């Protein structure tokens, strides 16, 4: 388990100015210098085109050279000894056959057009070695740190950090591995650099300008020496984080390179993330990728908490989360411009942040009552509650539902097309408003004296459980049993801010709060009794959010000290 750590607010290393074409051309060998431009080369051919082919095969591990040493790949993994420069000899034939076999091309030992065309595509600089998972190269721990030495001028530092978080998230989702950013002064395990040309790894690993090699990364220790695990990105490329990209998709490339930094070699499976060539955005793990990384680090252990995972963003207040299907998560936050933003997990990867507009003055709430349906609520500038919903094809609203509320609303649903909303009124009473499938009710006063926003969940038809802090900062429970309201029940604790609640089965409740030490605490109802308070760690600066999308599964979200949103889950 790792805690949310305070990140440095200053960039580690000098941020690069936007590069120019002239600057890039001054640096080292270019991709065009070693890319064959003519096909038809075969045994006995000689000249510059053969030299280009041999250099290409050498650069990517098909002919023996010290390139293999720099990446921690033993020389005996090379398919052929070094060739006679400029002569298409038997070593060149052997290396080219292996290249063709690796990539599923006709194994002719001659440079046909299909082989030459593939060589012209952008790719990773790591060599193509015979084994997918090599030597058991792996970190001897599961809580890994990373830091930035240089950034790119193509994107803001926030965009780069978000891309890194998404890229690590693919590996985090299927293994016990966790990743957290630390300053360079803390000696991160993985150093991320945006650089050009010869950047200190040796001339054989110099970047080659636009096209060609996009990035490279080094195996975990002891391979790679001082740069073990480090990930370098060619800043001569134009980097993008949008879909569709306006350049090369940074998330896809980083996710691939982090695979190397964790101990994976290249895969021969063309639609895997670890295939060496880039052909556009690839933001998911193939089963081959998952099998490879789990062979090194194992699977997520059932019955344990995992995270915290940094999901980026710069948010104000508590997040909200809903789920309308297994492995589907939809998160909503208030951004620094008071707009509502949306980020979702589709079962394999996290999206970016979608701006849903509005002008909201407090945290939102969200719930799903059916497949592909989401209902969100938030306070507006007039302190009324507003409603925005996804109807399965587009977002609708904002709808003004009135009221004069303090803080965030809460919402639950116990049936299709049923919504129950709860708010703290200006008299510190809890109020209830519901949608019955055709119309909204008025505001019902449920009493109590609550000092923060409430939370609500439904675990069965006509059942609602609400939670809120009282004047003694204990958590209180009020519930609708199908015929009348009951409570308030004092559940103890000393909490800051609003609680969060989820339910993964009938008569099961899981509550989460921020404690006075800024750790997240957990208390649950097992159908017959309440547990004590479990300390789940982290350093959270606002109230959490929680949702369950399946039996014994809980996903929690909370803002960390850098105002990013963090994710912790129970498998």
List active site positions.
257
Phi (first) and psi of residue 524, to 5 degrees = -135, 155
Contact by Cβ (8 Å): 281, 272: no
Q: What are phi and psi of 79, to 5 degrees?
A: -75, -25
Tell me how far apart the alpha carbons of residues 107 and 84 are, in angstroms, rounded to a whole number: 21
**Cα–Cα distance, 339 to 332 (Å, whole number):** 10
C-alpha separations of 493 from 31, 423, 470, 490 in Å: 63, 22, 11, 9
The CA distance from 138 to 142, in Å, is 10
Kind and range of the H or E run holding 570: strand 565-570
Q: How many alpha carbons fall within 13 Å on the CB side of residue 556?
A: 31
Question: Which pair of tokens denotes residue 448?
Answer: 């109590």
Contact 163, 250 (CB under 8 A): yes
Structure-token match 């008299």, residue found: 427
Q: Which two tokens stand for residue 212?
A: 């060609």
Strands (E), 371-494: 373-379, 385-390, 395-400, 405-412, 419-425, 430-435, 444-445, 455-457, 464-469, 475-480, 485-490
According to the 3-state scheme, what is the secondary structure of 274-302?
A: CCCECCCCCCCCCHHHHHHHHHHHCCCCC
Give dist(CA 217, CA 400) in Å, integer.
52
- Cβ contact 478:488 at 8 Å: yes
Interatomic CA distance for residues 252 and 219, integer angstroms: 19
Q: Which two tokens stand for residue 159?
A: 């965009």
Sign of CA dihedral 275, 279, 283, 287: negative
CA distances from 331 to 195, 349, 423 (A): 34, 13, 20
Rounded distance between C-alpha atoms, residue 435 and residue 388, angstroms: 14
Task: State the Cα–Cα distance between residues 48 and 68, nearest whole angstrom.
Answer: 24
Which residue has 């000899």 as its token pair?
A: 89
CA distances from 480 to 74, 290, 436, 468 (A): 67, 44, 16, 15
């Amino acid at each position: 388990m790792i805690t949310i750590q305070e990140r440095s607010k200053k960039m580690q290393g000098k941020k690069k100015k936007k590069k120019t074409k002239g600057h890039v051309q001054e640096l080292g060998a270019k991709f065009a210098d070693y890319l064959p431009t003519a096909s038809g080369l075969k045994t006995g051919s000689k000249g510059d085109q053969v030299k280009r082919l041999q250099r290409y095969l050498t650069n990517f591990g098909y002919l023996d050279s010290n390139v293999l040493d720099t990446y921690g790949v033993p020389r005996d993994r090379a398919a052929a000894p070094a060739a006679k420069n400029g002569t298409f000899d038997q070593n060149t034939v052997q290396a080219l056959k292996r290249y063709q076999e690796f990539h599923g091309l006709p194994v002719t030992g001659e440079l046909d057009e299909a082989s030459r065309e593939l060589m012209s595509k952008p790719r990773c600089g790591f060599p193509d070695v015979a084994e997918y998972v090599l030597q058991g190269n792996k970190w001897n721990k599961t809580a890994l740190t990373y830091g930035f030495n240089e950034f790119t001028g193509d994107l803001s530092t926030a965009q780069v950090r978000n891309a890194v978080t998404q890229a690590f998230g693919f590996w985090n989702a299927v293994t016990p591995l966790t990743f957290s950013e630390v300053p360079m002064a803390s000696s991160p395990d993985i150093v991320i650099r945006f650089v050009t040309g010869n950047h200190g790894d040796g001339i054989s690993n110099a970047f080659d300008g636009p096209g060609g090699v996009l990035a490279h990364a080094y195996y975990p220790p002891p391979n790679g020496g001082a740069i073990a695990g480090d990930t370098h990105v060619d800043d001569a490329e134009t980097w993008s984080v949008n879909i569709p990209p306006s350049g090369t998709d940074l998330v896809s490339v980083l996710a691939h390179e982090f695979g190397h930094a964790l101990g994976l070699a290249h895969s021969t499976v063309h639609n895997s993330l670890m295939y060496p060539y880039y052909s556009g955005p690839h933001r998911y793990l193939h089963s081959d990728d998952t099998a490879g990384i789990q062979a090194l680090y194992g699977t997520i252990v059932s019955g344990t908490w995992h995270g915290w995972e940094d999901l980026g963003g710069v948010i104000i207040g508590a997040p909200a989360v809903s789920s309308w299907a297994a492995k589907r998560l939809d998160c909503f936050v208030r951004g620094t411009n008071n707009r509502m933003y949306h980020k979702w997990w589709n079962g394999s990867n996290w999206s970016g942040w979608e701006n849903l507009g509005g002008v909201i003055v407090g945290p939102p709430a969200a719930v799903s009552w059916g497949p592909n349906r989401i209902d969100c609520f938030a306070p507006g500038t007039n302190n009324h509650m507003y409603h925005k919903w996804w109807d399965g094809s587009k977002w609708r609203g904002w709808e003004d539902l009135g009221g004069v509320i303090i803080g965030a609303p809460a919402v639950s649903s116990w049936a299709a097309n049923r919504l129950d909303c709860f708010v703290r009124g200006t008299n510190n009473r809890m109020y209830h408003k519901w949608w019955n499938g055709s119309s909204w009710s008025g505001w019902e006063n449920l009493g109590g004296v609550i000092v923060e926003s409430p939370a609500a969940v439904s675990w069965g038809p006509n059942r609602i459980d609400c939670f809120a802090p009282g004047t003694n900062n204990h958590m209180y429970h009020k519930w609708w049993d199908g015929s009348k309201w009951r409570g308030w029940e004092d559940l103890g604790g000393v909490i800051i801010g609003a609680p969060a609640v989820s339910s993964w089965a009938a008569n099961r409740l899981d509550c989460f709060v921020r404690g006075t030490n800024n750790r997240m605490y957990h208390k649950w109802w097992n159908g017959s009794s309440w547990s004590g308070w479990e300390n789940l760690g982290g350093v959270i600066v606002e109230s959490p959010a929680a949702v369950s999308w399946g039996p014994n599964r809980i996903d929690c979200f909370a803002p960390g000290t850098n105002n990013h949103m963090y994710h912790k889950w129970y498998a």
